[in-house]
Structure 1
Amino acid sequence: MSYSQCDINNCWNKITYAFPILTDTLFTDCTNEEYDEIHRVIVGLGVQIKIRDLILIHIEKYLRQHVAPSFWAKFQNVEEELKGFQLFKSAVNDLYESAANFAGMLKRLTTLNNSCCDNKPIFLEKDVTLGFKQLLRSTLLSQLPLNFQVIINHFYKISFNVFDNENETSDMAEDVMCSGCWNEYTDCSCSYIVKVFYDTSRKLVELQLLERLTGQVLTNFIQMRIESHIQKLCTGTFDVSHISFLENWLETTVMSWLTRIYCAGSSKPPPDDKNIQNAIAKFKQKLSYYLYFTYTKLRIDQLFNIIIEYPDSQPAVDDIKLCLEKTDLRSTLCKKLKTEIETRLLHPGVNTPDILTAYISTIRALRHLDPSGVILETVTDPVRNYLRNREDTVRSVVSSLTAEGAGSELAEELAKFATDDENEQEEAWDEWVPDPVDADPKVNSSDRKASDIISMLVNVYGSKELFVNEYRTLLADRLLAQSVINTEKEIRYLELLKLRFGESQLHFCEVMLKDVSDSKRINALIHQDKNFMALNEKFTSNAMILSAQFWPPFKDESLALPDEIKQHLEAYTKSFEALKGNRTLNWKPHLGTVNISIEIGEKTLDLTVSPFNATLIMHFQDKPEWSLDELHQVMKVPVTILRRKITYWQSMGLISEKSPDYFVLVESSDGNRSHVATGQVQEMICEDDEAESAMASAHDQREGELQVFWSYIVGMLTNLDSLPLDRIHQMLKMFASQAPGTECSLQELRQFLDTKVRSHQLVLQGSLYKLPKP
């Protein structure tokens, strides 16, 4: 059948009447009956597919040229939040109305599409309406402006603020601002904002634009609110757990608000709409992870302070422990804390006791955080290395172990060890947990978990003996510095240490304490000796009688006592020899304390001073003026020490420097005023004098202990000519097990032998040591 041009024109006019989009218009008065007739014409002509595709082309053109530009024209980069709110609302409303104008045309297009023999999908959608929405969405997004997110962010910021504050009371004065919309309560627009918010969300959902248009902006906005909420709630507070509060806030506020966005104001998603349910569930999963991630990052930044305040900060540690299981921030925590410790703790400006206190808190906190001990092992490695290089570390540890009163954490740990059951049950097989992936495979996991605080401190040096020797020195200082010795307390500490380090290690200390009790008994017996008391009526004395081979070495100091004191000590020695028979005394005149009375005019000063200070002032009793060199000759004390220690009596106002290195006794009342004025200086000098150890330094002691080996080494090399280092070390082990300090590591022996080589007492040829030829 052939058609004239007139027939074709009439058919085209009827088709454009039914589908005005073909002439770039949207409105028509075509009725359903009229369209049925037009549809029959199209089918009769057999051009359904061509007309359908042509219609879709014109729809896409109209959306691109009219709808999309009109929509994006409202997305202005404004600073006023309320203006941005109104612009976004207006843009969505206009877009929704524009889409609604296509409703009749889309219905006819559906009928036309159904009559096509191929009935192929339209923009990957079988439903024409869904295909149209896909076309609308892709057309809009193809013209996306740079700053489109500004007014969307304003829109959600205002609506969330209203929702977050909708439960607050409003019975306040009229001049108070509403915390939701920030207007006065008389002009509150919260209800209007909520209505617009729900209506706009519904339209975006219907147009299937919600996630594609606002998803990323909405996600960024909620993440910012989560961050600000966590900062506001959690900054600086470590004694309260915040995870449950944050989870509740996320569920009741954020997720409730998001549900209303997806469900057009409804608090629950439709039970039959799996798409919305899945979208909300995915959003919640993503935001939950971000909540834990953000909170953990904040706590990691605060972790050093959290550790310092432990155990008061245990709730914060519990939160971190929970969050680490839900995030991948374990390595971040280790790196950050390690850097914080090195920066804030491991430098010369921090005292060793403070470092030890922080180290102990770190051990306790990280043990609670990670029972496997892997984080602790990783983080504290720089602390162990740093403490190993500090000279006073061992003394600080030992002092803390035997410190009195609450607050001494190591003393508490030592006492706790004594009360713990030594036969603890082994971990049940069904409670076994593998080590984390970052654990060192060379370290036994049971050893890592079993190490307590004291063991970790001992392992810094790798030797119990070092700690025992330092305790022996500290005990000696303490016994010699006290005028009244509390042996019961010292015995209690010793028993606790024996449980930790073993009885054999502390045998020498037992002898030292026995010397104290024996000295009391011997002093009592000597004071009952009538011959001794008859010769010493002017003053009395009490001696501390020490078993020299069991006490640590003393400092090598000299002090010549006045003649009457020497005579008194000689008489004491004779009484001791009469009492003990084959034993005598070797006096250490620079040790101990002296109680003296000094009369100044009508006043008397009763002081307890060192033997040096007592000897010095007694010389001024016989002669009121002395030069520094004269004092040096009579007291046998180096001039440098004299110059330093004479300041004690200068601070008391009893001695003044008349001219350089020439001192005179001050007997006028000015001396009393000087004594009062310099009371603080006196106290400082007294404390410094008393705090000075009577024992040789650890370095000097160790040099003396290693010297014990020299005679053995000389004998070995005399008999065997030459020996390698490891052979010398093995042979020395057979002789070095009785006295404290006689154990020697291979590295320490090498350094000792190298010293002998440098002093030409040994010769090193290749790897063999030998004696030099005479």
Structure 2
Amino acid sequence: MEATLNVLSTGDLGISTSTDGVWDKVCLAYPLLTSNELPEECPDDDNVLKEINELKLNTFVEDIVICRIEQIMRQKITPEFWGRFSGRKTEIDGFERFKGAVDYLYSSLASFLSTVEKLEKLRFISRFNRVIYGEDTLLGAFKVIMTSTLLSQLPLTHQVITEDFYKVSFKVFCNTDKSEADQDESTEDVVQCGGCSHEIEHCRCQTILSVFHETNRKLIELDLLERLAGEVITSLIHIRIENHVQESCKGSFDTSYISSLESWLSTVVLGWLTHVYSGNAASTQSSIKKFHQKISHFLYETYTRTRIEQLFNIIIEYPDSQPAVEDLRICLQKTDLRLYLTQKLQRALETRLLHPGVNTPDVLTAYVAAIRALRQLDPTGVLLETVTQPVRQYLRWRDDTVRCVVSSLTEEGPSELADELVRGEALQLDEGTPLDEDMANWETWNPDPVDADPSKTSKSRRTSDIISMLVNVYGSKELFVNEYRTLLADRLLSQFSYNTEKEIRYLELLKLRFGESQLHYCEVMLKDVYDSKRINAHLHSDPNFNLDRQQFPSMAMILSAQFWPPFKEETLELPSFVKEHLQIYTKAFETLKGNRTLSWKPHLGSVNIDIELKDRKINLTVSPTHATIIWHFQTKNQWTVEELSQLMHVPATVLRRKIAFWQSQGMLREVSTDSFLLVEESATRSRCPVAPDMVCEDEETESAMASAHDQREEELQVFWSYIVGMLTNLDLMPLDRIHQMLKMFASQGPTAVECSLQELRHFLDRKVREHKLLFSGGFYRLPKS
């Protein structure tokens, strides 16, 4: 596209033609003032320049020449340059168009250099200097004119052609680098070049690289490389880095990638940038160094974001994913993404872990893995404290958390918590007060990160082990000790073997964590088992008691009631001959112990029975309730649930569940609703009969201990008598006043029970629903009898 250029005249300039033909000489020195064509070379006439200086027309001539240069740039060169950026069909076509446009611009602007040099000479002769467009030199001002004019007419589609040029060259460079690395491999099967996409015989890679080098040299010489292509080059490098990071470390956590990524950046990306800036050796090193700092930071940031997106899976796979965690630790020191990591990981935990569909043991496993991984990621413990806050709140909300933790601590086989317990470290609870040891190593002391909780010491965050952190979820080790006590009771009452070696070992390990005073009750429980074994052996070996001469042997687990957790309140009426045997055992015990006696729990324990049917004999070990049910069927072949419930003093709902066990063994059949018949013929037996002499257990292994909720209810009943007494004397009282008086009188002594205000409110509200209290206007009172 060509623009019409107006030739300047003396009238346009506002000067007289009577200055001895000076204007003609000026036009002779600067042909571009009167020509529509770009001058190839300006005549070198020092006399003309001297005459201009003598007439003091230096500034005037300089102004009109610069004005003319701006006019030619604006009306001819710039439209022609940007016109070559349209009509692109393929990337190779875009590559050629960009190269042609730069060649045209370079040749066009080169024609102005002699004019600029002539103006510089005029300045030297006249010994004056001034600043034009912020530049001290005319060459600098010329480049400002050139750049501003080009950018003022910048088309919307210019980036497409620019991207084509650098995409093609980058692809060719990477393919060349790869070919050099794999030059020993056979290339007989390769038909098409991976760089230029031509056939091998017609490969243009070297030509493209040569054109690429020459074009960049021209842009550097014109100071246009950064302005025209800087954004495109940076964008291409960023895309390339993102793709390479994704391809390199996608789903792989057991390998460190920082070294390989840094090596790739130095060889491939910086190698290509060296080719880009190689046209100007003086500025290559500074430009490459500046780019290296930027893209290195982008590489670390990209890799860090990628690992943060995968962090939940990295934590789940820890310690196999330890290299990925170490990489992330290094990258976090080089980037500012701690807040981003905290937000992303918290969101991932809440979405994938903290919901009812995940079992509590799985939540605990993930929490333990998070503790280990985040401790390596941030040794200060601040990230761990911040990120896992929702997990701790969620675990505190689940009812079975403590039982799952205690079970994991004492279970057989490989376990994270069991291994922690074996280490035998002392329990570290949150104290919130600084220790003297915090300043012991003051020379190596570093402040906590800015996102640290100022109410907690750095020492507590660093020294708390996994078990301590699980205990700190609730803030009370008494809760854990009580849960272990209940779990221990279940274990001891379910094995009936008097073997306590394993439990003693676990107890000794727990003492190191929680202290001996906390576990004194558990020691007594284990001693009860040992004493029971000894007492049983003594009573059965002493002929004075005649226990071995009874119809069947009786063994007892003798428990100290005040040291064991509360039992479930269940009843069972045993057959009379069984109660007689138990009474004989009780008298023998009283004879042995003097002033001590036994209070039997008939629904607990196990019974070994032989069942003789018409065609088979079966040996089973079942609970007393199961044994009593089947025993009654020897006196009568058919029973209803209601009849058995009245006879055995067992609720009908419990009986139905227990009878289902005998149905599964093919010994009972329901002939009508809640009516069961004894099955003696093997032909009508279940398809899966029980083998003779088989020891069977109830499929539902239920705890003999009262639940934590039931135990708490029993403890709160201690307050009821105090509340009744207070309301009897004072008629009505608000909640706060009742709570204060309970703290003053009822919550004292070695067996005091603590009760929060909210818990007391729930307790009193339940009494209101049971019509044992009245509530009106914020006051509680007793109902009138």
Question: Please, what TM-score do these two structures have when normalized by structure 2?
Answer: 0.88
In 1, Cα distance between the equivalents of 2:629 and 2:569?
Answer: 19
Per-residue deviation, 1:367? 2.3
Contact 1:598 1:605 in 2 (8 A): yes
Cα-Cα RMSD? 3.3
1:365-384 mapped onto 2 (5 Å cutoff)? 365-384=373-392
Counterpart in the other structure of 1:412 = 419
Quick check: 1:318 aligned with 2:326? yes
In 1, Cα distance between the equivalents of 2:407 and 2:516?
Answer: 20
Counterpart in the other structure of 2:208 = 193
Q: Which amino acid aligns with 2:424?
A: F
Q: Which amino acid aligns with 1:366?
A: L
Contact 2:540 2:547 in 1 (8 A): no
More deviation, 546-555/640-649: 640-649
Counterpart in the other structure of 1:249 = 264
1:519-598 mapped onto 2 (5 Å cutoff)? 519-530=532-543, 538-598=551-611
Structure 2 CA distance for partners of 1:750 and 1:632, relative to 1, 3 Å = closer
Per-residue deviation, 1:212? 0.8
Quick check: 1:338 aligned with 2:346? yes
Counterpart in the other structure of 2:528 = 515
Report the 3-state secondary structure (helix = DSSP H, G, I; strand = E; otherwise coil) of the residue aligned with 1:596.
strand
Per-residue deviation, 1:429? 0.8
Per-residue deviation, 1:623? 2.5
Contact 1:725 1:767 in 2 (8 A): no
Counterpart in the other structure of 1:206 = 221
In 1, Cα distance between the equivalents of 2:698 and 2:383?
Answer: 42
Q: Which amino acid aligns with 1:320?
A: L
Counterpart in the other structure of 1:296 = 304
Quick check: 1:238 aligned with 2:253? yes
- Picking from 685, 703, 709, the partner of 2:713 is 703
More deviation, 8-17/637-646: 8-17
Contact 2:774 2:783 in 1 (8 A): yes
Q: Which runs of 5+ in 1 are unaligned?
A: none
Structure 2 CA distance for partners of 1:315 and 1:425, relative to 1, 3 Å = farther
> Cα deviation per residue 1:14-45 (whole Å; 9 max; x = unaligned)?
4334322112222357654xx33443454455
> Cα deviation per residue 1:605-634 (whole Å; 9 max; x = unaligned)?
333222222222222233222222222232
Contact 2:623 2:698 in 1 (8 A): no
In 1, Cα distance between the equivalents of 2:42 and 2:86?
Answer: 39
Report the 3-state secondary structure (helix = DSSP H, G, I; strand = E; otherwise coil) of the residue aligned with 1:608.
strand
Q: Which amino acid aligns with 2:103?
A: N
More deviation, 411-420/6-15: 6-15
In 2, Cα distance between the equivalents of 1:755 and 1:5?
Answer: 112
Identity %: 56
> Cα deviation per residue 1:393-449 (whole Å; 9 max; x = unaligned)?
11112111212221x222222222348999997550112111222223233333333
Report the 3-state secondary structure (helix = DSSP H, G, I; strand = E; otherwise coil) of the residue aligned with 1:115.
helix
Contact 1:625 1:663 in 2 (8 A): yes
Q: Which amino acid aligns with 2:323?
A: P
In 2, Cα distance between the equivalents of 1:672 and 1:661?
Answer: 19
1:691-730 mapped onto 2 (5 Å cutoff)? 692-711=702-721, 725-730=739-744
Counterpart in the other structure of 1:25 = 37
Counterpart in the other structure of 2:85 = 75
In 2, Cα distance between the equivalents of 1:374 and 1:421?
Answer: 17
- Picking from 407, 413, 430, the partner of 2:443 is 430
Structure 2 CA distance for partners of 1:424 and 1:353, relative to 1, 3 Å = farther
In 2, Cα distance between the equivalents of 1:485 and 1:248?
Answer: 65
Per-residue deviation, 1:709? 4.5
1:314-713 mapped onto 2 (5 Å cutoff)? 314-406=322-414, 408-418=415-425, 427-530=440-543, 538-599=551-612, 603-672=616-685, 674-675=687-688, 688-690=699-701, 692-711=702-721
Q: Which amino acid aligns with 1:725?
A: H
In 1, Cα distance between the equivalents of 2:69 and 2:215?
Answer: 24
Counterpart in the other structure of 2:62 = 52
Report the 3-state secondary structure (helix = DSSP H, G, I; strand = E; otherwise coil) of the residue aligned with 2:134.
coil
Structure 2 CA distance for partners of 1:375 and 1:535, relative to 1, 3 Å = closer
Per-residue deviation, 1:120? 2.0
Counterpart in the other structure of 1:228 = 243
In 1, Cα distance between the equivalents of 2:389 and 2:364?
Answer: 14
Quick check: 1:93 aligned with 2:106? no
In 1, Cα distance between the equivalents of 2:194 and 2:332?
Answer: 36
Contact 1:71 1:91 in 2 (8 A): yes
Quick check: 1:84 aligned with 2:98? no
In 2, Cα distance between the equivalents of 1:29 and 1:415?
Answer: 91
> Cα deviation per residue 1:585-621 (whole Å; 9 max; x = unaligned)?
2221211222333345654433322222222222223
Per-residue deviation, 1:221? 1.4
Structure 2 CA distance for partners of 1:669 and 1:80, relative to 1, 3 Å = farther
> Cα deviation per residue 1:696-732 (whole Å; 9 max; x = unaligned)?
1111111112333455667788999997533431444
Per-residue deviation, 1:687? 6.2
In 2, Cα distance between the equivalents of 1:502 and 1:763?
Answer: 45
Structure 2 CA distance for partners of 1:572 and 1:457, relative to 1, 3 Å = same
Residue correspondences, number: 753
More deviation, 314-323/207-216: 314-323
Contact 1:724 1:769 in 2 (8 A): no
Counterpart in the other structure of 2:193 = 178
Contact 2:638 2:676 in 1 (8 A): yes
Contact 2:539 2:547 in 1 (8 A): no
Q: Which amino acid aligns with 1:185?
A: I
Per-residue deviation, 1:207? 0.8
Report the 3-state secondary structure (helix = DSSP H, G, I; strand = E; otherwise coil) of the residue aligned with 2:633.
helix
Per-residue deviation, 1:750? 5.8
Quick check: 1:280 aligned with 2:295? no
Contact 1:77 1:151 in 2 (8 A): no
Structure 2 CA distance for partners of 1:454 and 1:280, relative to 1, 3 Å = same
Quick check: 1:61 aligned with 2:71? yes
Per-residue deviation, 1:317? 2.0
In 1, Cα distance between the equivalents of 2:40 and 2:771?
Answer: 117
Per-residue deviation, 1:580? 2.1
In 1, Cα distance between the equivalents of 2:584 and 2:528?
Answer: 21
Q: Which amino acid aligns with 2:463?
A: A
Structure 2 CA distance for partners of 1:479 and 1:236, relative to 1, 3 Å = same
Structure 2 CA distance for partners of 1:167 and 1:599, relative to 1, 3 Å = farther
Contact 1:48 1:115 in 2 (8 A): no
Q: Which amino acid aligns with 1:588?
A: K
In 2, Cα distance between the equivalents of 1:576 and 1:181?
Answer: 99
Per-residue deviation, 1:60? 1.4
Contact 1:77 1:147 in 2 (8 A): no
In 2, Cα distance between the equivalents of 1:620 and 1:396?
Answer: 40
In 1, Cα distance between the equivalents of 2:625 and 2:399?
Answer: 28
Contact 2:31 2:42 in 1 (8 A): no
Q: Which runs of 5+ in 2 are unaligned?
A: 1-14, 430-434
Question: Please, what TM-score do these two structures have when normalized by structure 1?
Answer: 0.89
Contact 1:64 1:139 in 2 (8 A): yes
Counterpart in the other structure of 2:124 = 114
Contact 2:547 2:553 in 1 (8 A): no
